[in-house]
Amino acid sequence: MITKILIANRGEIAVRIVRACAEMGIRSVAIYSDADRHALHVKRADEAYGIGSEPLEGYLNPRKLVNLAVETGCDALHPGYGFLSENAELAEICAERGIKFIGPSAEVIRRMGDKTEARRSMIKAGVPVTPGTEGNVADISEALVEGDRIGYPVMLKATSGGGGRGIRRCNSREELEQAFPRVISEATKAFGKAEVFLEKCIVNPKHIEAQILGDSFGNVVHLFERDCSIQRRNQKLIEIAPSPQLTPEQRAYIGDLSVRAAKAVGYENAGTVEFLLAEGEVYFMEMNTRVQVEHTITEEITGIDIVREQIRIASGLPLSIKQEDIIHRGFALQFRINA
């Protein structure tokens, strides 16, 4: 069993992980930049160490974080969400240094973080995806040919994108021509890769995401879904669990699809499979290979402690729950404040 965890994050999720550690009798190690030295997660953790004067730099240095975990006697590292939570290099360095990464393997993070590779994996598994290009488009000429084939409107997306960045809706060839250099530039600056692909734009869909948990024994369960259709600039504003938009049949179908998707890539730990729902059809959109901001409302309706399960899974234990035991009661909402 894991005995000591370095929390490679700050703020709300760090406090959440500290709480889970305390309840499980596990020592917690917090990190902080000078700006965060008096933050709540620092005060509540068993130990806390400074990572430099720069507000963000220390949180984004994977080797420095893993070295600190080794130096402080930790046997595991929890990345939280944001920062390096979906960084395959961090997972690889943890494996090199004998530190358990509380999340999926580097291979799975890399595969599902590449949206075109994720689409190929889902097609192979029989999970429906939105019509689009088979891979990345090389240039604007290919993009225009593919846009005509798919049919407008289309979504131009950064292959490594996330958080609403590197994505544009294009209603015509002219808009695609205008958006292409902008998305390439945004993708390069935000994700370090000038890779983009096209998908058919599903007009006025519901955005449904299913919470999954998978252990190292091949067991995968879903904890129902969250509706995150209310957004601003492709970023979520309101989350509702479970979705009030789904019929019982749709709920069961999306749950089954999410489990199939996770099993297809050998997923281990907590993750989220995101879908679009339009005119009764469900399409895979992407997979988030980490715990999400909104995991708390799923915990509210199911009574299952997702962070505790993450730590148990990373410790090599099987899931403590079976699918038939998971039920949901009532509704829970999360509101996000966006500056």
Catalytic residues: 290
Angstrom distances, CA of residue 91 to CA of 14, 61, 102: 18, 12, 9
Contacts of 135 (CB under 8 A, 6+ apart): 116, 197
Q: Which of 188, 147, 180, 153 is nearest to 169 (CA)?
A: 153
What is the DSSP secondary-structure string of 240-296? EES-TT--HHHHHHHHHHHHHHHHHTT--EEEEEEEEEETTEEEEEEEE-S--TTHH
Strands (E), the chain: 4-7, 27-32, 47-50, 76-78, 100-101, 154-162, 165-170, 196-200, 206-214, 220-232, 235-241, 269-278, 281-288, 332-335
- 67-101: b (≥16 Cβ within 10 Å) or e: ebbeeeebbbbbbbbebbbbbbebbbbbeeeebbb
Is 33:59 a contact under the CB 8 Å cutoff?
yes
Largest CA distance in the chain: 59
Q: Which of 86, 26, 12 is nearest to 270 (CA)?
A: 86
| CA–CA gap between residue 250 and residue 254 (Å, rounded) | 6
The half-sphere exposure of 83 on its side-chain side, counting CA atoms within 13 A, is 22
Is 268:57 a contact under the CB 8 Å cutoff?
no
Which residues are paired to 4 by β-bridges?
27
